[in-house]
C-alpha cells in the first residue's frame, strides 16, 4: 500500500430490496460529513492492557461447559479446559481475568475447590438460585486456565461470609514457597511452584450482595483485610477495593478518605510507607435499554428507541468516570490509585427459551456498546487502568457462546480483536467534529473515537458510528509527521438486532474498507451502526 487506495473489500451491501420485511427503516438513507483531527505527536498516558480484561463468575454456563468440561469429556480439552475456548481467547490477547465472582465470591470458600475432585464437597450456589456447585473448577483449574491463555490472575476474596484468616490462608496456599507448609499442601494437590497473584479484590459489591455494608464499615473492613493480605513470594499483590455502584459518589468519597492511605491521619509509623493502601478502586456499571434495573429491555426484536436508550446508558459511563475521578483527585492528585471498572457490559432481559441463566444471544448492538465503552476507557487511561467485561462466556455480554461441543465467537469478540492494538500503546489526542445522533429525546455524539500510537510508530483509531441509519464521510487530519499508508476494517450488519447463530455463518466478520491517503489526510466512508479500526503507518 502507498498513497493510492489500499486493498479492500466493501462492507456488507445494503442493496435495495435485500433487507427483510420491516428492516428498510434501518437502511442507510443518507450520510453525514465528519472530521477528526489527530495530534500524532501527542503523547498521552499508556493505555493499560488490563482495560481489556474479563470477568468470570460461577453463574449459568459461564464456567461449567463454557470453560470447564472435565478431562473425560469428548469435547477436546487440556486437563478439563476446553481447547476451542482457549484458542479463541489467546487470539484476542486477554490480559487478566477476575474470578470467582461477583456475588458468588462472597459465598465461596476456596478450600472446597482444592484437592482430589472426588473429595470436593458438592455445594450450593446461594448467589444464583441455589443451583448446584460441584467445586470441580477451583484454584488449580483457574490458574491452569490462565496459563493456557497467558492471562494474569485477579482473585476476589470472600469478605461477606469469609474471614481475614481464610483470605490469608488462600494467599499462603497460592503464593508461599514450595518448602513451606502451605507450599507443600499445594504441591500435594499437583502444583509445586507458587503462583503469581498480581491482583486481589477485597470483596465484591460490599454495599449489596457482598455484605450490605455502609461505606464507613467497608472502609474499616478493607483496612483490616489489607493488613494481612500479602504475597508470600514474588511480586506484591495489588489490592482493589470495592468501589461504587454507578453514581454513588458518596461511597467513593468516604472510601478514598478512610482507606486509601495506610493511616487516615498524617501521623506516620515506622512500618508505614507513602504507598497507597489500595492499587485500585472498582466501579460497576451495566448497560440496558434505559435506566430501570427491572426493565432492562429485550435483547432481540427491539426498535430504534431501545437502540438509542441503550447507547445513551452506555455513554453515561463517561460522566461516571469523570465524577468518580474528580473525587479521587482530591485524595490522590498524582493518580496513583487506578479506577478499575471491573464489571461492565450489556445486560438485557434473557429470552424465555434461554438455555441457561443470564444467557443472551449476541447482537450488533453489543458490538457498538463494546466499542463505545472501550473508547471511553481508553480516553480516561490516566485513571482507568483496568476494566473487566461481564462475563466472557455464555453469560450476558460474552466474547464466546457454547452449545455442547459447538462454540462461536460474538460480535463483541470481534471488537476486542480489533481493539487489541491499543494494549500498551500511548493515547493520542483527537478532536471530533460530527453531527449528533438524535432519536426522539435522546441526543448523543454521532461518532465515538479513541486513538493510540504503538511502539513501532503506527497510529490506530477505533471509530464507532452510533447512528443506525446514516453512514459517515470521514476525513482524518494527521497533525505532524509524514504518513503514507493506511488500511481499515469494519464490523456492521444489516439490522440493529442481527445476531450470531450456531447453525449459520458469522455475519460479523470484519471487512476491509477502501481508504485514501493524501497529504496528511485519510479519507474513508464509515458505515452506519458500525465499529471500525483504522491503521496508519509512516
Residue 25: predicted pLDDT: 45
For the ranges 232-246, 271-285, 464-478, which has the lowest average pLDDT?
A: 271-285
Helix H or strand E encompassing 493: none
User: Could you tell me what percent of the chain has a pLDDT over 70?
Assistant: 93
pLDDT in tens, 190-214: 999 999 999 999 999 999 999 999 9
Does the pLDDT at position 274 exceed 50?
Answer: yes
List the domain range (segments joined by +) for residue 92: 49-424
Residue 342: predicted pLDDT: 97
Q: For 137, list phi and psi in degrees, rounded to 5.
A: -105, 105
Does the pLDDT at position 124 exceed 70?
Answer: yes
Same domain? For 66 and 133 the reply is yes
How many angstroms separate the first and last alpha carbons of the chain?
11
- Is residue 365 situated within a structural domain? yes
User: Is the CB of residue 40 less than 8 Å from the CB of residue 481?
Assistant: yes
Same domain? For 444 and 363 the reply is no
- Is residue 269 situated within a structural domain? yes
Separation between Cα atoms, residue 353 and residue 46, nearest integer Å: 44
Q: For 350, list phi and psi in degrees, rounded to 5.
A: -70, 145
Per-residue pLDDT band at 18 (split at 50, 70, 90)? very low
DSSP helix/strand/coil, 266: coil
Record the pTM: 0.93
pLDDT in tens, 303-351: 999 999 999 999 999 999 999 999 999 999 999 999 999 999 999 999 9
User: Is the CB of residue 362 less than 8 Å from the CB of residue 416?
Assistant: no
Q: What dihedral angle (degrees, nearest 10) is formed by the CA atoms of 216, 218, 224, 229? A: -150
User: Is the CB of residue 108 less than 8 Å from the CB of residue 158?
Assistant: yes
State the greatest distance between any 2 C-alpha atoms of the chain, in Å, as a whole number.
Answer: 77
Same domain? For 84 and 32 the reply is no
Per 3-state DSSP, the chain is made up of helix, strand and coil in percentages (nearest 5) of 25, 30, 45
Average of pLDDT values for 217-244?
A: 96
Q: Which residues are catalytic?
A: 205, 343
Cell matching residue 496: 440493529
Cell matching residue 356: 441457561
DSSP helix/strand/coil, 356: coil
Last residue of a domain, one of 402, 424, 446: 424
Per-residue pLDDT band at 412 (split at 50, 70, 90)? very high
Same domain? For 179 and 264 the reply is yes
Residue 268: predicted pLDDT: 55
Separation between Cα atoms, residue 386 and residue 275, nearest integer Å: 19
Same domain? For 55 and 36 the reply is no
Same domain? For 273 and 246 the reply is yes
Residue 271: predicted pLDDT: 52
Same domain? For 196 and 99 the reply is yes
User: Could you tell me what percent of the chain has a pLDDT over 90?
Assistant: 90
Q: Domain with 300 in it: what CATH number?
A: 3.20.20.80
Same domain? For 153 and 295 the reply is yes
Does the pLDDT at position 122 exceed 80?
Answer: yes
Q: pLDDT: is 111 or 275 the higher one?
A: 111
- Is residue 13 situated within a structural domain? no
Amino acid at each position: 500500500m502507498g498513497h493510492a487506495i489500499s486493498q479492500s473489500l466493501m462492507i456488507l451491501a445494503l442493496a435495495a430490496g435485500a433487507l427483510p420485511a420491516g428492516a428498510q427503516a434501518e437502511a442507510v438513507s443518507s450520510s453525514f460529513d465528519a472530521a477528526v483531527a489527530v495530534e500524532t505527536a501527542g503523547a498521552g498516558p499508556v493505555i493499560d492492557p488490563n482495560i481489556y480484561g474479563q470477568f468470570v463468575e460461577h453463574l449459568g454456563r459461564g464456567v461449567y461447559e463454557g470453560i470447564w468440561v472435565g478431562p473425560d469429556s469428548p469435547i477436546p480439552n487440556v486437563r478439563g479446559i476446553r481447547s476451542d475456548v482457549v484458542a479463541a481467547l489467546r487470539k484476542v490477547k486477554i490480559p487478566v481475568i477476575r474470578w470467582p465472582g461477583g456475588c458468588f465470591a462472597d459465598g465461596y470458600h476456596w478450600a472446597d475447590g482444592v484437592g482430589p475432585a472426588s473429595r470436593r464437597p458438592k455445594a450450593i450456589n446461594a448467589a444464583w438460585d441455589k443451583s448446584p456447585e460441584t467445586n470441580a473448577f477451583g484454584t488449580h483449574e483457574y490458574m491452569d486456565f490462565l496459563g493456557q491463555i497467558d492471562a494474569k490472575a485477579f482473585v476476589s476474596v470472600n469478605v461477606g461470609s469469609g474471614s481475614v484468616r481464610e483470605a490469608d490462608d488462600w494467599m499462603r496456599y497460592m503464593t508461599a514457597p514450595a518448602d513451606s507448609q502451605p507450599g507443600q499442601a499445594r504441591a500435594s494437590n499437583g502444583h509445586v511452584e507458587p503462583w503469581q497473584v498480581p491482583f486481589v479484590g477485597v470483596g465484591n459489591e460490599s454495599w449489596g450482595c457482598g455484605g450490605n455494608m455502609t461505606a464507613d464499615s467497608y472502609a474499616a473492613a478493607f483496612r483490616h483485610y489489607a493488613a494481612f493480605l500479602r504475597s508470600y513470594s514474588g511480586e506484591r499483590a495489588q489490592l482493589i477495593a470495592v468501589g461504587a455502584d454507578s453514581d454513588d459518589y458518596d461511597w467513593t468519597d468516604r472510601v478514598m478518605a478512610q482507606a486509601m492511605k495506610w493511616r487516615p491521619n498524617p501521623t506516620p509509623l515506622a512500618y508505614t510507607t507513602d504507598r497507597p493502601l489500595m492499587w485500585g478502586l472498582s466501579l460497576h456499571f451495566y448497560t440496558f435499554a434505559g435506566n430501570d434495573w427491572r426493565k432492562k429491555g429485550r435483547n432481540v426484536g427491539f426498535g430504534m428507541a431501545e437502540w438509542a436508550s441503550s447507547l445513551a446508558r452506555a455513554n453515561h459511563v463517561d460522566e461516571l468516570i469523570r465524577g468518580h475521578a474528580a473525587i479521587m483527585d482530591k485524595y490522590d492528585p498524582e493518580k496513583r490509585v487506578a479506577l478499575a471498572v471491573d464489571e461492565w457490559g450489556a445486560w438485557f432481559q434473557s429470552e424465555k427459551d434461554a438455555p441457561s441463566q443470564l444467557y443472551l444471544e449476541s447482537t450488533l448492538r453489543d458490538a457498538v456498546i463494546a466499542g463505545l465503552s472501550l473508547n471511553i476507557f481508553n480516553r480516561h487511561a490516566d485513571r482507568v487502568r483496568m476494566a473487566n467485561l461481564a462475563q466472557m462466556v455464555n453469560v450476558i455480554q460474552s466474547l464466546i457462546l457454547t452449545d455442547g461441543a459447538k462454540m462461536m465467537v460474538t460480535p463483541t469478540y470481534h471488537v476486542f480483536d480489533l481493539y487489541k492494538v491499543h494494549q500498551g500503546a500511548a493515547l493520542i489526542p483527537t478532536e471530533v467534529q460530527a453531527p449528533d445522533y438524535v432519536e426522539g429525546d435522546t441526543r448523543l455524539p454521532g461518532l465515538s473515537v479513541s486513538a493510540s500510537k504503538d511502539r513501532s510508530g503506527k497510529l490506530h483509531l477505533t471509530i464507532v458510528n452510533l447512528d443506525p441509519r446514516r453512514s459517515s464521510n470521514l476525513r482524518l487530519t494527521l497533525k505532524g509527521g509524514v504518513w503514507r499508508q493506511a488500511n481499515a476494517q469494519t464490523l456492521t450488519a444489516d439490522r440493529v438486532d442481527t445476531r450470531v447463530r450456531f447453525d449459520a455463518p458469522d455475519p460479523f466478520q470484519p471487512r476491509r474498507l477502501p481508504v485514501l491517503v493524501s497529504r496528511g489526510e485519510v479519507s474513508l466512508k464509515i458505515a452506519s451502526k458500525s465499529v471500525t479500526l483504522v491503521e496508519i503507518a509512516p
